[in-house]
């Protein structure tokens, strides 16, 4: 490389005061997010030295997030399950009556939400598996049921993850959004992720949806993915 970049040179720019305040903060957020994604990538791949493309693509993920992230405001119908307890029986009824069916995503693709998706309301603490049992019901998931169809329909911040699991190719789409819930004069903010696998016949079916409260945890979720801009085709 004809120009050697060192941490000192990068920190020198950030500390010099030549950047306007908003640009300075934007650089810090961008570089931090990219560095964390690179860290999660080297851990997942178990590689001490990543390829230049594997490092540079982290910036692509960060740019995609910062540009296309969908902001969900939990008001009106999206907040209909909040405001008090939301027990298992009400969540099951809501899922069957208001979530199950088909929905077109923001790219016009058909997503099927079927009854087995009900398992997404449950999570066994010991294993993390979706085991349907009263003790495994998570009220927070029940309260966020109205968000599932909404995020699929509205979000264009979608990541495609291709994996080889036990010799079998697997493709999954993550529909992502930031969420904001008004609470006692404040706004509780987090990420919300809807998981939609693709089967061997290219059919897309809802699997689960969950909230991600920590920023770094969200970065680790999207790290294996690539930005999705539209239908790949059969």
Q: What is the pLDDT of residues 125-137, one digit of tens each?
A: 999 999 999 999 9
**Which residue, chain included where needed, has tokens 């997503």?**
111
Both tokens of 73, joined, read 């405001």
Domain total of the chain: 2
Answer yes or no: do 59 and 150 share one domain. Answer: no
HEC states along 102-124?
A: EEECCCCCEEEECHHHHHHHECC
Answer yes or no: do 123 and 50 share one domain. Answer: no
Which residues lie across from 173 on neighbouring strands?
160, 196
The reply to whether 1 falls in a domain is no
Read off the pLDDT of residues 46-95 as tens digits, 9 standing for 90 and up: 998 999 999 999 999 999 999 999 999 999 999 999 989 999 999 999 99
The reply to whether 157 falls in a domain is yes
Determine whether 60 is exposed, middle or buried from the number of CB atoms within 10 Å of its CB (0-12, 13-18, 19+): middle
The reply to whether 187 falls in a domain is yes
Residue range of the domain that includes 141: 70-227
Query: What is the pTM assigned to this prediction?
Result: 0.91
């Amino acid at each position: 490389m004809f120009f050697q970049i060192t941490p000192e040179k990068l920190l020198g720019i950030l500390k010099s005061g030549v950047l306007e305040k908003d640009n300075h903060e934007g650089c810090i957020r961008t570089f931090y997010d990219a560095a964390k994604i690179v860290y999660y990538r080297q851990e997942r791949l178990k590689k001490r030295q990543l390829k230049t493309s594997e490092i540079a693509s982290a910036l692509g993920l960060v740019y995609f997030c910062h540009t296309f992230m969908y902001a969900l405001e939990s008001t009106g119908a999206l907040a209909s399950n909040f405001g008090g307890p939301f027990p298992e029986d009400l969540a099951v009824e809501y899922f069957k009556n208001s979530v199950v069916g088909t929905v077109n995503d923001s790219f016009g693709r058909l997503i099927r939400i079927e009854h087995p998706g009900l398992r997404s309301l449950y999570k066994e603490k010991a294993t993390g598996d979706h085991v349907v049992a009263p003790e495994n019901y998570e009220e927070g998931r029940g309260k966020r049921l109205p968000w599932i169809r909404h995020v699929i329909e509205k979000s264009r911040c979608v990541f495609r993850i291709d994996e080889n699991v036990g010799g079998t190719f697997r493709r999954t789409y993550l529909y992502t959004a930031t969420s904001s819930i008004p609470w006692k004069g404040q706004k509780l903010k987090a990420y919300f992720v809807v998981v939609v696998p693709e089967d061997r016949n290219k059919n897309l079916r809802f699997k689960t949806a969950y909230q991600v409260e920590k920023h770094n945890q969200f970065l680790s979720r999207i790290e294996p993915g690539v930005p999705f801009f539209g239908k790949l085709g059969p």
